[in-house]
């Protein structure tokens, strides 16, 4: 299958691109920074701003499905990356008759998500990091979900929990709406998206994804995902 991957040079997008190529897909890697992606068989690079309708139109031409792993950093300012890109991408897909769309969102988008037995996370980390520091980011993720839900596309909203790096795919768990767990390895997130692309178990609904086989070091995770990135 020929697929377009938005955010292909990001931390999740790189795993998604690598795994898709390994699975035999042809990948159009859509990025604003083409120099960060090396050429290899099966990979084409399209330079585009994901919020620019004309650029998105040109990038996804000839593809059969679109996967978005776009992300943004925490900010006190209003964030529009998710909703603006969703508007441009879904519009271009509708015009070109491309139906299948998978977009990375977050478990936070489910207002009822509270991991079982995760007292410290539910009462300390989640209120401080997700609901306060990440408030504007998650607000835009919810706007993105609204944009996508209003389309006639065969969409899947992919909702991981706290993302961390792990070298290999594990025996991850997926569930409708959101999954009962605190963390998701990016390798598992990418694998779940490619599996859903084939199996179509969560079309026009949300799919939660969590990693259960391994857990990240909390201090290291906060440093890498929060402090270091700034």
Q: pLDDT (tens digit, 9 = 90+) per residue, 98-152? A: 999 999 999 999 999 999 988 777 767 666 666 677 789 999 999 999 999 999 9
pLDDT score for 130: 65
Mean of pLDDT over the chain: 92
Interval 22-29 mean pLDDT: 98
Q: Which two tokens stand for residue 63?
A: 């593809």
Q: Residue 12: pLDDT band by 50, 70, 90 thresholds?
A: very high
Q: What is the model's pLDDT at position 133?
A: 73
| Measured distance CA(124)–CA(61) in Å, rounded | 45
Residue 46 scores a pLDDT above 60:
yes
- CATH value of 2-227 in 3.40.50.2000, 3.40.50.720, 3.20.20.210, 1.20.1270.360: 3.40.50.720
In 109-185, alpha helices (H):
119-120, 135-149
């Amino acid at each position: 299958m020929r697929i377009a991957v938005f955010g292909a040079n990001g931390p999740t997008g790189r795993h998604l691109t690598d795994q898709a190529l390994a699975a035999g897909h042809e990948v159009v890697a859509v990025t604003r920074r083409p120099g960060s992606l090396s050429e290899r068989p099966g990979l084409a690079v399209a330079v585009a701003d994901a919020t620019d309708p004309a650029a998105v139109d040109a990038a996804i031409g000839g593809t059969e499905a679109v996967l978005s792993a776009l992300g943004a950093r925490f900010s006190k300012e209003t964030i529009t990356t998710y909703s603006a890109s969703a508007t441009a991408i879904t519009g271009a897909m509708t015009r070109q008759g491309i139906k299948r769309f998978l977009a990375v969102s977050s478990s936070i988008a489910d207002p009822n998500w509270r991991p079982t037995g995760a007292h410290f996370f539910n009462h300390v980390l989640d209120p401080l990091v997700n609901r306060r520091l990440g408030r504007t980011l998650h607000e835009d993720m919810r706007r993105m979900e609204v944009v996508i839900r209003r389309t006639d596309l065969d969409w899947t909203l992919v909702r991981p929990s706290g993302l961390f790096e792990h070298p290999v795919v594990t025996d991850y768990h997926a569930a409708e709406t959101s999954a009962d767990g605190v963390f998701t390895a990016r390798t598992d997130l990418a694998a779940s998206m490619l599996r859903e692309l084939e199996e179509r178990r969560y079309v026009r609904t949300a799919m939660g994804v969590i990693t259960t086989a391994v857990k990240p070091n909390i201090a290291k995770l906060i440093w890498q995902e929060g402090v270091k990135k700034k």
